[in-house]
Structures are given as structure tokens and as C-alpha cells.
Amino acid sequence: MTGVIGTLVAAVIAYAVLVLAGYLAPDWLVLVATLAFTKGLVALGIVALMRGGLVSFGQGTFYCAGAYAAGLAMRSFGIGDAALLVALGAIAGLILGGIIAPLLAGYRGIFFATLTLALSMIVYGILNKTYSLGGSDGLNLHAPSFFGYRPAGSENAGYALFLFTGLIMVIAATLCRIHFNSVRGLLSHAARDNEIRVEYLGASVRWINSVNFIIAAVLGGVGGALSALSLGHIDPDFAFWTTSGEFVFLAILSGYVSVTAVFVAAILVELLRSYSSQYFPNTWQGVLGIFLLLIILFLPGGLGSLALRLRPKGPEPAPSPAENLK
């Protein structure tokens, strides 16, 4: 159990650092970090899937569902509390993921990727034509309150949202880390390596993949709701395939070794985007593309594998249950 306690301590320290860093950092950086964290949350979901060997090209579905759940709750029911809105986003992701997961559980590789992509494009198409939800223009949201506190001034609101997003992020990352290190979580690695072996050993690959898919869906919904709050605007592009592609980009960049790497990667990409869109407004996408190619070529395990390489060689960890299955 020392692993869990260590993770919790690391999480508390990480959040304290975030609070301080956000206080010291300039406003624009706080905004960039907030956006990066929301996207990182969605990418974390893909990482959960990737550990089992699946890549979803349609996380936009859940991202969009979370955003619209928050947006509609704000518009129709006047709910303005960030925590409540994010919870609704998570529930939207959970319900949708729970419905879709069993349907997709039998698919692998490229078929899984294309099917998730098709689903997100269906959502995109429907939302574009649903005029009661704003059609292609989408909806505008106003600033949320935080547990009853309504920050005055945009500077305070930005910092408050950053703290809130950071909190959600740290909680999500901690839960994911604990799950990934658990026996159930480690089975994902085994399933990626050899499904049939895992089945013969008595575990259900269908179940493993479904659980991962639902985790990804919930994280997508949470990320979507938070994005909606930080952008103040939602539209069907949340479900467009290039949005989903961006999340896969983040997941590949970070790799599935480290949970922290996902958010480091998200901040890196978001900074790269804001710098290059300022200095090379017409070529920043191309810059991202080249960056992605280089990462895949030279760092196939993602940024997270870098941390593994740099880590000082300590005593060998005890073999985990999944290790013994190999």
C-alpha cells in the first residue's frame, strides 16, 4: 500500500506547487495552463485505453457531450456552480460511455479507431443541424461560480478556474495512477500483449477494455465541461475529428508510462501552439505535424518514457502480478 500513499503525497505536493505557480505566473500563462489541463484530462482517457492497446479517434464524442451537458445545464436550469457542471459532464460521459462501451468491446486496432471516429462524426452532424442547441454556432456560457464563491474581475476568475481545473486534474491523475498500478489496471498491459493468454488465465479482455473505455469517456466528459467553462463557448467542432486527433496527438506525445507526462505534454503543445500561432500564423499546424513525426520517430514511448530513462536505478521493484503472467 506504500505505492498508494506515495501517490497521494505526490498529488498533494503537485497541487501545492500548482497553486503557487498559478499565483506567480502571468495571466496568459494561467489561461494556457487551464486549457492545457482540460485537454490533458481527455488525453489521459486515451492513455487509459492505450494501455490496453486501443486508440480511440473519437474522444470528441465525450468531450462534446460533457461540454454540452454543462452548457445546457447552465442555460436551461441556471446551474452556475463549476463543481456541479463538471459532475454533470462526467455523468454525461459515463452514460454515453456505458452505452457505447459494450458495442465497441469486440473491436480492435484500426476498426476501433474508425468506429469511434464515425460515432463522433455522427454527433458532429446531428449537433450541426440541431438548431435548438445553437446549430453550428453553438452556445455561449457565462463565468461559473466555485462552491458559492463568485470571483470578481477576470483576473480572479481566471485564477479560480485554474485552481479548480488543477484540482480536478490532480484528483483524476491520482485516481488513474492508483488504478493503473492495481491488479485490474495492470491487466490492461497483459491484454495489449496477448489477449488470448489473458482470457485463458480467467480474466475478461472485453471487461478490461470496457472499463478502460468508460474511464476514457468520463474523463472526456469532465474535460469537455471544463473546456466549456474556460472557453465560455461550445460548438459542434468539439466533436469534429480533428479535435479528437489533437487528443490522440497528446496521448502519443506523452506515452502511457507516466500520468504526469500527459499534462506536461499538454502544456508543451499548448505553449507551442500559442507561440507558433503568434510567430508563424500560417504554419503552426505544420510545425505541430513535424513535431509529432519527430516524436513518433525518436521517442516511440512518448515523453513519459524519458522520465523512465532518467530515473536513477533504484532497487528492483517487486514483480507485479501482471508481470508474472507474461
User: Quick check: 103 binds another protein (CB under 8 A)?
Assistant: yes
Q: Which residues pair with 145 in a beta bridge?
A: 81
List, as one string, the DSSP characters of 274-285.
HHHHHH-TTTHH
Q: Which residues pair with 183 in a beta bridge?
A: none
Q: Which of 8, 9, 17, 110 binds another protein (CB under 8 A)?
A: 110
What is the spatial distance between Cα 82 and Cα 146, in angstroms, rounded to a whole number? 6
Nine-digit cell string for 322: 501482471
User: Quick check: 196 binds another protein (CB under 8 A)?
Assistant: yes
CA distances, 72 to each of 75, 127, 131, 259 (Å): 5, 13, 13, 31
What is the spatial distance between Cα 134 and Cα 233, in angstroms, rounded to a whole number? 11
Name which of 8 and 122 has its Cβ closer to another protein. Answer: 122
Name which of 177 and 192 has its Cβ closer to another protein. Answer: 192
Residue 153 CA from chain centroid, whole number: 29
Minimum gap (Å) between residue 179 Cβ and another protein: 23
Minimum gap (Å) between residue 117 Cβ and another protein: 8
Minimum gap (Å) between residue 201 Cβ and another protein: 14
What is the spatial distance between Cα 280 and Cα 287, in angstroms, rounded to a whole number? 9
User: Quick check: 16 binds another protein (CB under 8 A)?
Assistant: no
Nine-digit cell string for 255: 506515452
User: Quick check: 310 binds another protein (CB under 8 A)?
Assistant: no
Site string for another protein, 258-287 (x = CB under 8 A): ------------------------xxxxx-
Q: Which of 3, 6, 102, 289 binds another protein (CB under 8 A)?
A: 289
Minimum gap (Å) between residue 207 Cβ and another protein: 19
Contacts of 231 (CB under 8 A, 6+ apart): 35
Strands (E), the chain: 139-140, 233-234
User: Quick check: 115 binds another protein (CB under 8 A)?
Assistant: yes
Instruction: Give contact residues for another protein (rule: CB under 8 A).
Output: 55, 57, 103, 106-107, 109-111, 113-115, 117-119, 121-122, 124-126, 128-129, 194, 196, 241, 245, 248-249, 252, 282-286, 288-290, 292-293, 296-297, 300
